[in-house]
Amino acid sequence: MFLRLVWESIRRSPRRKLMTVAAVALGSAVATAMLGVMLDVGDRVNHELRSLGANLLVMPKAASLPVEFGGISYRPVSTANYIPEDAVPKIKSIFWSLNIMGFAPSLRAHTRIGSSAVQLTAPVEGVWFRRPVESPGGIRTLAGIRNFASTWKVEGAWIDDSERNDRAAECMLGASLARRLKVASPGGTVDMYGAPFLITGTLDTGGDEDDRAFVRAEVLQRLVNRPGQMDAVQVGALTKPEDDFARRDIKKMTPVEYDRWYCTPYIRSIAHQIEEALPSTAAKPVWRVADSEGKMLGKVSGLMFLVAVAALLSAGLTVWSVMTAMVLERRPEIAIMQAIGGGAWLIAALFFFEVALEGAVGGLIGSLAGAALIDWVGRSAFDSSGGIPPLLGPMVVAVAVIVAIGGAANPIRRALSMEPARVLRGDA
State the Cα–Cα distance between residues 369 and 390, nearest whole angstrom: 15
Chain centre to alpha carbon of residue 391: 20
State the Cα–Cα distance between residues 26 and 122, nearest whole angstrom: 61
Range among 156-160, 179-183, 364-368 rated most confident: 156-160
**361 exposure class (CB count in 10 Å sphere: 0-12, 13-18, 19+):** buried
Nearest alpha-carbon partner for 238 in 328, 103, 119: 103
Are 34 and 307 in contact by the 8 Å Cβ rule? The answer is yes
Are 280 and 60 in contact by the 8 Å Cβ rule? The answer is yes
Each residue of 29-64: pLDDT tens digit? 888 777 776 666 555 665 555 555 688 899 998 765
Distances, alpha carbon 179 to alpha carbons 116, 175, 183, 190, in Å: 13, 6, 6, 13
Which string of DSSP letters, residue by residue, matches 275-330? HHHSTTEEEEE-HHHHHHHHHHHHHHHHHHHHHHHHHHHHHHHHHHHHHHHHHHHT
pLDDT the model gives residue 126: 95
Nearest alpha-carbon partner for 24 in 398, 415, 413: 398
Each residue of 217-255: pLDDT tens digit? 999 999 999 999 999 999 988 777 777 888 888 888 899
Chain centre to alpha carbon of residue 182: 42
CB 147: neighbour CB atoms within 10 A?
A: 23
Are 161 and 131 in contact by the 8 Å Cβ rule? The answer is yes
Each residue of 357-390: pLDDT tens digit? 878 888 888 888 887 777 776 666 656 566 666 7
Cα atoms in the 13 Å half-sphere on the side-chain side of 167 = 0
Residue 72 has pLDDT above 50, yes or no: no
Tell me 270's DSSP state.
H
State the Cα–Cα distance between residues 339 and 343, nearest whole angstrom: 9
Each residue of 129-147: pLDDT tens digit? 999 988 877 778 889 999 8
